[in-house]
Structure 1
Amino acid sequence: MSNTSEPVRVALLGYGYVGKTFHAPLIQAIDGLELALVGSSRPDAVHERIPGVRVSPVATAATDTDVDLVVIATPNDSHFPLAAAALRAGKHVVVDKPFTITLEEAESLAGIAQEHGRMLSVFHNRRWDSEILATKQVLQAGVLGDVTHYEVHMDRYRPNVRQRWREDRGPGSGLWFDLGPHMIDQTLHLFGMPLAVQGSLATLRRGGQTDDWGHAVLHYPHMRAVLHASLLVSGGGPRTQVHGTLGSWAKFGADTQEPQLQQCMSPNDPAFGIDPDEGIFYDGATGVQTPTPSPTGCQQRFYEGMRDAITSGGPLPIPTEDAIQVMRVLEGFYASAREGRVVEFA
């Protein structure tokens, strides 16, 4: 497609939590996108939220002749085959994180997209969280001096093991495959590719089948980035901390967009994405604490970027190479956790 008044017709594959909570409402909020098809085995559940939308089996929806963009929000191990099929059918593709299960699959998808002249991106929606936008503002302001330490936590309190694919043994399951890509992407987005990664994984809940605790240290020349996720944290400290030669900054409280979407708030509502929790700057010399307002979160910007890339040749909101770099670090993390060594990147 190029400049046209016709909307970009979107097929959403998968209508579980992620498809229903994030992708469908964000797509529907964007002028110039039309959610034309949902790939699901549960048409009644789809029609409860989206009356009248066409529903078909996932595999069929991936290559449907009447859509332009395919969004894949299915279990992780299906991302590669569905994306490959859609690209070969001439569709532009968005894949929910993790992009793929392996780096080899990620690089293969990029090659298929290039071969068929299609756009390929990954839904790293957290780049548009208030927390990440606030961190970028603080870094750009230079008030921290030279940054030496970046730390981010994505912790939950879910002590009971549940019967679902994310917590069952299998390719792409476990807490780190769920939350690790978010934290890795936001770190690379802010600081670029690290020199090395050191990782550790554990299963701490009784009866757990997959990892429910993960810890990564990304090595930079004069900085370390610490990424942490656990399903056994109640309360806890700041979600983000940044320390530098002139001071520190911390952000407490999670971005509001996910709970707002859970409550069916439209992304076009003026209250959408407003974060009441301010950050705090700690002056290193005086100890004075200064509140820093949080920008409004705006995950809908991802789909605005996809629309513009398809209709007018704008840049992808998340370049394919960024998706590959996250997979490179993710694969290095798993190798480090498995082998007990630091994995360096050439």
Structure 2
Amino acid sequence: MTSTQPVRFAAVGLDHAHAFGQIAGLIKAGAEFVAMATDDPSAAIAAQVRERYPDVPVVDSPDELIARDGIDLIVTAAVPDRRGPIAVAALRAGKDVVADKPGCVSFEQLEAIEKAVAETGRFWSVTFSERFEVRCVQKAGELVRAGKIGTVVQTLGLGPHRIGDRGHLGGGSGRPDWFYDKARYGGILVDIASHQIDQFLWFTGSRTAEVVASTVGNFANPDKPGLQDFGDLMLRSENAQGYIRVDWYTPEGLGTWGDGRLMILGTDGYIEMRKYVDIAGRDGGDHLFLVNHERTEYIDCSDVELTYYPDLVHDVRERTTTAAPQEHTFETMRLALTAQQNAAVRGAAR
């Protein structure tokens, strides 16, 4: 690839609304969207992607598109249990891969991906959008690395969601069947808490960690026992601790799909982020509050530059992993899978 050639990417698997951010982010970073294919062309998300990009060719067979020459990168937001196999096939076809979270739903899939990365020299990135696509989290990283709160010793990450959120449904009438099938979405700690695990490792500078305890439950949807509507876990590394809570309980009275929050405790201060809403406060999202020995400050993050997608394009060109170190991505998914596997099960969950 020369510096004048655009990075060419295809989308394989269009089942989750995160595909919109992935595709738009890569196009904005200068990549060329050359084709799409998906297992279920009738899915609401797939229909919307076709509407937004009517000039991009639709290929009937995902396997044929993965094998096609002239494509540098495969993006997937397929049903979670399909993301691992799609990634392995793409890696072995000589493509780099960007997968929606969770990047895989089992240790067997993770092992197959790690083996394919090692043998092909391509990279596998998972789009942890609650960090990569949230400006206040990007800003918090800058503040932490500038020493504004001293040494980080703990993170507290909250990831509430709403089952009936229209944006995530892509205009469909309800969640698809796979949403209620644990074998397909991987369980709530794999599906959602992988976001917060990623943030714990990144903000604390931990290369690895252990799962101290974890729980999953179904307390509000007993008619859907395959849905885990609550989960929490505790992490510990050599230098830091973390607590994570995720759920599907966001009430209709809130003006967005979830009051996602992240708190970072340092030895000389703390940072709190209200990512998507400041309840009964300021409009919009990306709210950051910094408290240290010098001041208490609200920081407007609306102009903070997001770097994930430009970094991905750079990584494809230069064979680097600036968007996210490969071992970090592996460790994030390993911890999510471990927490899910070892979780105590409560309520109607199975």
- TM-score tier by shorter-chain length is 0.7 to 0.9
Does the CA contact (< 8 Å) of 2:160 and 2:260 recur in 1?
no
Q: What is the CA distance between 1:321 and its match in structure 2?
A: 1.4
Report the equivalent of 2:17: 18
Closer, same or farther in 2 for the Cα pair 1:76/1:279, shift >3 Å? same
Q: Report Cα offsets for 1:4-50 as digits up to 9, x if no partner.
A: 4222221101223335421221222222x110010132586543211
Deviations 1:159-209 (A, max 9, x none): 798443122342434433321111111111111122443211111223233
Query: Which one of 53, 61, 75 corresponds to residue 65 of structure 2?
Result: 61
CA distance in structure 2 between the partners assigned to 1:114 and 1:82 by the alignment: 17
Superposed displacement of residue 302, structure 1: 2.3
Compared CA separation, residues 50 and 229, structure 1 to 2 (3 A): same
Are the aligned partners of 2:231 and 2:245 in contact in 1 as well (CA < 8 Å)? Answer: yes
1:37 match: 35
Q: Secondary structure at the match of 2:183?
A: coil
Residue 7 of structure 1 is matched in structure 2 by 6
In structure 1, the partner of 2:228 is 211
- The 4+ residue runs of structure 1 with deviation greater than 6 A are none
Q: Which amino acid aligns with 1:202?
A: G
Q: Which of 168, 172, 177 is residue 185 of structure 2 equivalent to?
A: 172
Matched to 1:228, the amino acid is R
**CA displacement 1:285-339 (0-9 Å, x = unmatched):** x9x743233364545x322222212223343412321221012211221233148
Structure 1 range deviating more: 151-160 or 87-96: 151-160
When residues 162 and 126 of structure 1 are mapped into structure 2, their CA distance, relative to the original with a 3 A threshold, is closer
Flag the 1:104–1:311 CA change in 2: closer, same or farther, 3 A.
Answer: same
Which of 335, 339, 348 matches 1:333? 339
CA distance in 1, matches of 2:193, 2:245: 8
User: Once the two structures are superposed, what CA deviation does each residue of 1:97-145 show, in whole Å capped at 9, x if it has no partner?
Assistant: 2121223422321222332232332222333322322332342343434
The residue number in structure 1 matching 2:272 is 250
AA at the equivalent of 1:5: T
Distance 1:121 1:5 in 2: 24
State the distance in 2 between where 1:86 and 1:220 align. Answer: 33
- What are the superposed Cα offsets for residues 256-312 of structure 1, whole Å, 9 maximum, x if unpaired? 9xxxxxxxxxxxxxxxxx97654233457x9x743233364545x322222212223
Give the structure 2 partner of residue 343 of structure 1. none
Q: Residue type of the partner of 1:303?
A: Y
Residue type at the aligned position of 2:244: L
The equivalent residue for 1:139 is 144
TM-score of the two chains, using structure 2 as the length reference: 0.79
**Given the alignment of the two structures, is residue 280 of structure 1 paired with residue 289 of structure 2, yes or no?**
yes
Cα separation, 2, equivalents of 1:245 and 1:114: 38
Letter in 2 for 1:320: Q
Secondary structure in structure 1 of the residue aligned to 2:191 = helix
Question: Is the 2:99–2:126 contact (alpha carbons within 8 Å) kept by the matching residues of 1?
Answer: yes
Q: Secondary structure at the match of 2:233?
A: strand
Q: Give the direction of change, closer, same or farther, for the CA distance of 1:165–1:136 in structure 2 (3 Å limit).
A: same
* More divergent stretch after superposition (327-336 vs 168-177): 168-177
Q: Which residue of 1 aligns with 2:246?
A: 229
**Structure 2, unpaired ranges of 5+:** 166-173
Which structure 1 segments of 5+ residues have no match? 257-273, 341-346
Instruction: Find the residue that maps to 2:159 and give its secondary structure.
Output: strand
TM-superposition CA deviations, 1:52-90 (whole Å, max 9, x none):
211112222222223221112211111222122122222
Q: How many Å separate the matches in 1 of 2:233 and 2:196?
A: 10
Question: What amino acid is the match of 1:139?
Answer: V
- Counterpart Cα distance in 2 of 1:298 and 1:281: 19
Amino acid of the residue matched to residue 53 of structure 1? V
**Worse-superposed segment, 65-74 or 312-321:** 312-321
Amino acid of the structure 2 residue aligned with 1:101: V
> SS of the residue aligned with 2:185?
coil
Secondary structure in 1 matching 2:34: strand
Question: Could you tell me which of 101, 110, 114 is aligned with 1:110?
Answer: 114
2:200 corresponds to which residue? 187
User: Would you say the 8 A contact 2:96–2:123 is kept in 1?
Assistant: yes
Amino acid at match of 1:240: L
CA distance in 1, matches of 2:285, 2:103: 32
Partner of 2:168: none
Q: Percent identity of the aligned residues?
A: 22
2:123 corresponding residue in structure 1: 119
- SS, match of residue 48 in structure 1: helix
SS at match of 1:98: coil
